[in-house]
Amino acid sequence: MAEILKGAPVAAALSEELIRRAAALRGAGILPTLAILRVGERPDDVAYENAAVKRCEKVGVSVRRVLLPHSCAREALLDAVARINDDPAIHGCLLFRPLPDRESEAAACALLSPEKDVDGCTAGSLAAVFTGKGPGFPPCTAQACLELLDYYGISPAGKRVAVVGRSLVIGRPVAMMLQSRDATVTMCHSKTADLAAACREADIVVAAAGQAGLIDASCVRAGQVVLDVGINVTAEGTLRGDVRFDEAEPVVKAITPVPAGVGAVTTAVLAKHVLQAAERSL
Ligand code: NDP
């Protein structure tokens, strides 16, 4: 039986610390504030937004929603980003991606100030992830993986890690962050020749492919820690991870559930990044 690495205690511990830091900022006359910029009404965006607002309110981060219609012109989007950049009362901005128009998305990410980019979408933020220096923040989900490992006392140092997925949202930044913490990282993707073997070799597997049940019994072995980042909605409307929990859980040492695993930590990391941005503005 594996240890189940639930996200809720991690988020609760983070929130406790964040409440103290938000109070200190308010004492210094600063109301830490997040702008949420959403285009359209994608149900997964709306669900995440509601969870983010709830978490922020709980820890004392104020939220301003900037909502644009699905059909909005690129100029309207860029104008909204420019206003957020120019508003000294806003410390962080969450820009929902993917946007309906990928070119507009690239332009918005290029325009957003890295200092306010609390979800790692700008080149400045990604450069900070890769160099360890500069403004910006890693994507919240990538950071959530690290927070989860830290909370449960699992050090990546000296471990072999397989990261399944190489997107800029999760796979690549989490691989780089784990490497910075002295892990030896193998990045796997859709062209990896023998995914099961690459995963079995690892001490820690981070599954971030967006393929329900991709990591099955053939990919796991005793003693492993498995972080399942995948959120896949089935035809019946239920959530499934990238890992076959029923096959992996009896074998591995520790595993995150889906839902209530990595995803439950992400909004707490978002609030943490807003507070860090506000603290930097002092
Ligand atoms: P993308 O679709 O952008 O990237 C998926 C990656 O997985 C790609 O690099 C792709 O490889 C790789 N991949 C796809 N199929 C396979 C396969 N059969 N074998 C090996 N690798 C494969 O997805 P994201 O990175 O944006 O998201 C990944 C998952 O994380 C999704 O389920 C998403 O819903 C979830 N997610 C969870 C969050 C959370 O808070 N828990 C937040 C954000 C996302 P290639 O590059 O070769 O195409």
Which protein residue's CA is at the shortest distance from atom 6 of ligand 1?
Answer: 165
Does 166 sit in the ligand 1 pocket, CB within 6 Å? yes
Which overall architecture, per CATH, does domain 140-264 show?
A: 3-Layer(aba) Sandwich (3.40)
Structure tokens at 240: 């499934």
DSSP 100: S
* Residue whose CB lies within 8 A of the most ligand 1 atoms, among 170, 226, 234, 256, for a mutation test: 170
Instruction: Give ∠ CA 196-202-206 in degrees, rounded to 5.
Output: 80
Q: Are 245 and 257 in contact (CB under 8 A)?
A: yes
Does 243 sit in the ligand 1 pocket, CB within 6 Å? no
Does 164 sit in the ligand 1 pocket, CB within 6 Å? yes
In Å, how far are 198, 221, 225, 273 from 251, measured between CA atoms?
A: 17, 6, 10, 35
Which ligand 1 atom minimizes the distance to the CA of 144?
A: 40
Cα radius of gyration rounded to whole Å, the chain: 19
The pLDDT of residue 273 is 98
The answer to pTM > 0.85 is: yes
Which protein residue's CA is at the shortest distance from atom 25 of ligand 1?
Answer: 167
The pLDDT of residue 145 is 98
The pLDDT of residue 124 is 94
For residues 271 and 239, what is the distance between their CA atoms, to the nearest angstrom?
Answer: 24
Which ligand 1 atom minimizes the distance to the CA of 262?
A: 41
For residues 62 and 129, what is the distance between their CA atoms, to the nearest angstrom?
Answer: 26
Separation of 209 CA from ligand 1 center, angstroms?
3
Which ligand 1 atom minimizes the distance to the CA of 232?
A: 32
Q: Which stretches in the chain have pLDDT values below 70?
A: none
For residues 121 and 202, what is the distance between their CA atoms, to the nearest angstrom?
Answer: 28
Which ligand 1 atom minimizes the distance to the CA of 261?
A: 41
The pLDDT of residue 78 is 98
- Parallel, antiparallel, or unpaired: how do β-strands 33-39 and 3-4 relate? unpaired
Q: Are 36 and 65 in contact (CB under 8 A)?
A: yes
For residues 282 and 270, what is the distance between their CA atoms, to the nearest angstrom?
Answer: 19
Helices (H), the chain: 8-27, 43-59, 74-86, 102-111, 123-131, 140-151, 171-180, 195-201, 245-248, 263-280
The pLDDT of residue 205 is 99
Does 208 sit in the ligand 1 pocket, CB within 6 Å? yes
The pLDDT of residue 134 is 87
For residues 133 and 180, what is the distance between their CA atoms, to the nearest angstrom?
Answer: 12
Domains 29-113 and 140-264 in one fold = yes
The pLDDT of residue 23 is 98
The pLDDT of residue 1 is 87
Separation of 97 CA from ligand 1 center, angstroms?
14
The pLDDT of residue 266 is 98
Domain map (residue ranges) of the chain? 29-113, 140-264
For residues 115 and 60, what is the distance between their CA atoms, to the nearest angstrom?
Answer: 20
Which ligand 1 atom minimizes the distance to the CA of 211?
A: 15
Query: What is the SS3 assignment for 242?
Result: coil
For residues 140 and 267, what is the distance between their CA atoms, to the nearest angstrom?
Answer: 8
Query: What is the SS3 assignment for 64?
Result: strand
The pLDDT of residue 139 is 98
Instruction: Give ∠ CA 262-268-269 in degrees, rounded to 5.
Output: 80
Which protein residue's CA is at the shortest distance from atom 42 of ligand 1?
Answer: 141
CATH superfamily of 29-113: Leucine Dehydrogenase, chain A, domain 1 (3.40.50.10860)
The pLDDT of residue 26 is 97
DSSP 117: B
Q: Positive or negative, the Cα torsion across 156, 157, 160, 164?
A: positive
